[in-house]
Structure 1
Amino acid sequence: MKVLIEYYDKDVLKNIVAPLTLQPDVVVYLHDKGMTDKNVFRSLKTCFAKSMPNIKLESIPVDIRSVEKLRQATFRVAERYGAENCTLELTGGSELMMIAGYKAGLQTGMQMVHTDLVNRCINNVETDEKVCDTVTLTLENFLDAKGAELMGESHRPPQPERYEDIKRMAQFLFRNLQEWKVTCSWLQTVVSWGLPHELHLDSKRNVHMKNGKPVAPVKEILFELQRRGFIKHLEWENDRVSFDFRSIEDKQYCISYGVWLELHVYVAAASSGAFEDVKLGTMIDWDIYDGTRMGGNEIDVVLMDDSLPVFISCKLREADTAALNELLIAKKRLGGWFSKGLIATFSKEKQENTGTYMRCQDLGLEMLDARDILAEDFSDRLVRAIREHDLVSLKWKKV
């Protein structure tokens, strides 16, 4: 029987990497006796059970202020299971836990290891030799360990064969934002008069929105939507316009002003081949045990980069403090310190070194602005921004 002894940590990565890598029969967590939410261990077992269906998990409350009591508690676990069957991981928990654990490890002779999260390996504490490389984590691992789950995506992700058309359409709209804003308002107004599943549109060019303001589409925008395959059978005659949306998804794209930046970022991330679990418009239920199914704020794009979750917020306008705080909360809630946040904003925040950009850096977030978004190599810039935002920079350069 293989037993892994862990000190519970507030950062989920420290709690799950070693168990998922070493695949023990039993995981024993020693934790602060002041903890009241035991669903955290229920969630950890759910995370482990998908790859280790017979896993046993124990949680033992201890006084984390006393080195001696921590040592005794660790010693008792090793004595109960047999020190030769136990591995003690000295990665999570407080400094006193580390000291107590090392003392217990020396006393019992059990193997002691440390997980190097930067270099993605597990090392023997006493010899500094590598025991093994760590496994690659998925977004599902983090969600399960936090007691959360995906509630779905607000927009169905496009198929790879549509990537080039989406990229070109998005760049066209970004260069003609005012015309797109007017045309999108017209589309939203006219579509609201029909049925949700209806794909045919036939309307006067000049209509009035609910607030009474007149609005009309820009011809070039509609013809570009047709050229890129989002609408078809476009007829522009006299004072009327008619066409068909190619699908319900395309209809949703055409009536959503800001979704094009989300699509542009999603396509750049997905087509790069650098990331796993790239998702668009993700809704997360942060507490699956509270009896209500309710999602938090929508995350525009979320992906996994080298076993770390990355949250991307897309703003087809200037960013503000509220947007930065929302992104910060989302990334900390799932990945804690071991997660990344990036905001893509169609503005000049970064190139002009504005207060918002400086605030972004203070919060440990990355930013891409209009110059990056309009660049032909946007996908490379996105990959570079995420990859250079590594664990070392998070520890020593960011807050």
Structure 2
Amino acid sequence: MKTLIELYDERPVENVLATEMFRPERTVFLCPAEIAQNKNVHEKLRAYMKHRGLDSELVFLECSQYNTAKIERQLAGVVEKYPECVLDITGGTDAALFAGGLLCARSDMPVFTYSRRQNSFFNIHNAPFAEGVKCDVRYDVSSCFMMAGGALRSGRFDNSILSGYMDDIDQFFAIYMDNKSQWTRFVSYMQKASQTDRDSDYIPLEVSAPYTVKGDRGSRISAPEKVLEDVERLGFIKDLYIKTGSSVSFTFRDLNVRKWLRDVGSVLELYVYKVCRDTGLFCDVQTSAIVDWEGDGKQDNVTNEIDVMAVRGIVPLFISCKTCAVDTEALNELAILRDRFGGEIAKAAIVTTQSCRLVTAHRADELGITVIELDDLRKGRIGDIIKSMMGAK
């Protein structure tokens, strides 16, 4: 394919998918003025194409968005200037699509589209090469952010090492569920018992602490003996010695485990990450995915953390994990991230270890967010729910 004409769309995937599938020599974007003149947007799209191993030349041309006659003239100008043009009508405004139809009625220019429902391309006019072609593009989490102008930053988890803990995560979560009512106090105790010198970079794995430590606001937290013993049986700590009423000592398995036992939400995030991996559906799964909205790595950029993000083919799944009750603010934030970095094809779920209130469930339904709550976790339904969300049998 020599030249692909794209009608620029606010939905990122519709700007890049056909270029990834058919790999034209050049892609010409017909854009609104604010995009055609925005060099930052152009460079981000070029960086994305390079990230994806594509070398198509990208051309950005200003085009009316709502005047059909003007759009038709501008399309005709592109066809005249560039050889062997093909038009993708997957994105763009209604006026642009109408103008494309008018031009094609008077020419033999090939036209095709992509169906999200069928995950296939289709011949609209004189484009037999696209007829019924299944989309086999597979994105990773980083690509989903980059195509929307953002970037993936390192989060609280080193995803590259998690495969070494897969055999432990189910039991870790089972310990949490057995001790859910005490978990916050357990984590608070672990934080206080394993405090380190702020002026030192050295983080010891060995812990020796009083049986009762000072909590927040003058509270006192005694060692949660049962949870400590459960965690020792798992192998996350060793050499546990408890002298009731006096002292506690143990050694963390490693620095990763130390981090997870000092953070309330890590156990749920790790479990949901493993569930996504275990479904076998996803080509990429990341936990603690930090999205930099501007994509240039500056420290003052707006960033958000997505607790777990997974991608099946081109469809991203955004998951928020809550060990507390879900509120409207959490739902709204998740919906914004899904829409900004995933678009209409993206899915979103919120996983909570609490029961969901009816009013919250109603708001989630309005936003198109699936709620996976305490009863679903207890009955082991989370994997089946995720499969259903992603259209898997």
Q: What TM-score comes out, normalization by structure 1 length?
A: 0.90
- 1:11–1:384 CA distance, 2 compared to 1 (3 A): same
SS for the counterpart of 1:159 is helix
Higher mean C-alpha deviation, range 369-378 or range 283-292: 283-292
Indicate conservation of the 8 Å contact 2:175/2:231, yes or no: no
Aligned residue number for residue 203 of structure 2: 197
Aligned residue number for residue 394 of structure 1: none
Aligned residue number for residue 382 of structure 1: 386
Counterpart residue type for residue 286 of structure 1: W
Indicate conservation of the 8 Å contact 2:12/2:147, yes or no: yes
- 1:297–1:288 CA distance, 2 compared to 1 (3 A): closer
Distance 1:177 1:294 in 2: 36
Q: Are 1:87 and 2:90 an aligned pair?
A: no
Indicate conservation of the 8 Å contact 1:88/1:105, yes or no: no
SS for the counterpart of 1:9 is coil
Indicate conservation of the 8 Å contact 2:205/2:255, yes or no: yes
Match 1:358 to one of 341, 359, 362: 362
Counterpart residue type for residue 220 of structure 1: K
Q: Are 1:250 and 2:234 an aligned pair?
A: no
Aligned residue number for residue 104 of structure 2: 105
Q: Deviations over 1:67-126 (max 9, x none)?
A: 1111111111111123xx111111111111001112222323111111112212211103
Aligned residue number for residue 319 of structure 2: 312
SS for the counterpart of 2:240 is strand
- 1:386–1:317 CA distance, 2 compared to 1 (3 A): farther
- 1:306–1:137 CA distance, 2 compared to 1 (3 A): closer
Indicate conservation of the 8 Å contact 2:33/2:62, yes or no: yes
Distance 1:385 1:3 in 2: 36
Deviation at 1:128, TM superposition (A): 8.4
SS for the counterpart of 2:92 is coil
Q: Deviations over 1:193-226 (max 9, x none)?
A: 4566210001111121253211112111001111
Indicate conservation of the 8 Å contact 2:49/2:55, yes or no: no
Aligned residue number for residue 159 of structure 1: 162
Instruction: Provide the aligned C-alpha RMSD in A.
Output: 2.2
- 1:295–1:174 CA distance, 2 compared to 1 (3 A): farther
Deviation at 1:285, TM superposition (A): 1.0
What does residue range 172-251 of structure 1 map to in structure 2 within 5 Å? 172-194=175-197, 197-238=203-244, 239-251=246-258
Indicate conservation of the 8 Å contact 2:13/2:147, yes or no: no
Higher mean C-alpha deviation, range 276-285 or range 195-204: 195-204
Aligned residue number for residue 345 of structure 1: 352
Counterpart residue type for residue 143 of structure 2: N
Aligned residue number for residue 333 of structure 2: 326
Counterpart residue type for residue 212 of structure 2: N
Distance 1:378 1:114 in 2: 35
Indicate conservation of the 8 Å contact 1:186/1:216, yes or no: yes
Distance 2:144 2:22 in 1: 17
Q: Are 1:280 and 2:287 an aligned pair?
A: yes
Higher mean C-alpha deviation, range 149-158 or range 234-243: 149-158
Q: What TM-score comes out, normalization by structure 2 length?
A: 0.91
Aligned residue number for residue 11 of structure 1: 11
Indicate conservation of the 8 Å contact 1:169/1:224, yes or no: no
Higher mean C-alpha deviation, range 225-234 or range 99-108: 99-108
- 1:135–1:45 CA distance, 2 compared to 1 (3 A): farther
Q: Deviations over 1:336-364 (max 9, x none)?
A: 22211100011221xxx610001000011
Counterpart residue type for residue 207 of structure 1: V
Counterpart residue type for residue 310 of structure 1: L
Aligned length: 384
Indicate conservation of the 8 Å contact 2:150/2:294, yes or no: yes
Distance 2:24 2:68 in 1: 26
Indicate conservation of the 8 Å contact 1:78/1:108, yes or no: no
Higher mean C-alpha deviation, range 33-42 or range 195-204: 33-42
Deviation at 1:273, TM superposition (A): 1.3
Distance 1:175 1:12 in 2: 43
Aligned residue number for residue 267 of structure 1: 274
Counterpart residue type for residue 144 of structure 1: M
Distance 2:85 2:126 in 1: 17
Distance 2:184 2:296 in 1: 42
Distance 2:48 2:239 in 1: 50
Aligned residue number for residue 147 of structure 2: 145
Distance 1:295 1:191 in 2: 32
What is the percent sequence identity of the aligned residues? Answer: 25
Mark the runs of 5 or more structure 2 residues left unpaired by the alignment.
none
Distance 1:169 1:290 in 2: 34
Distance 1:215 1:289 in 2: 44
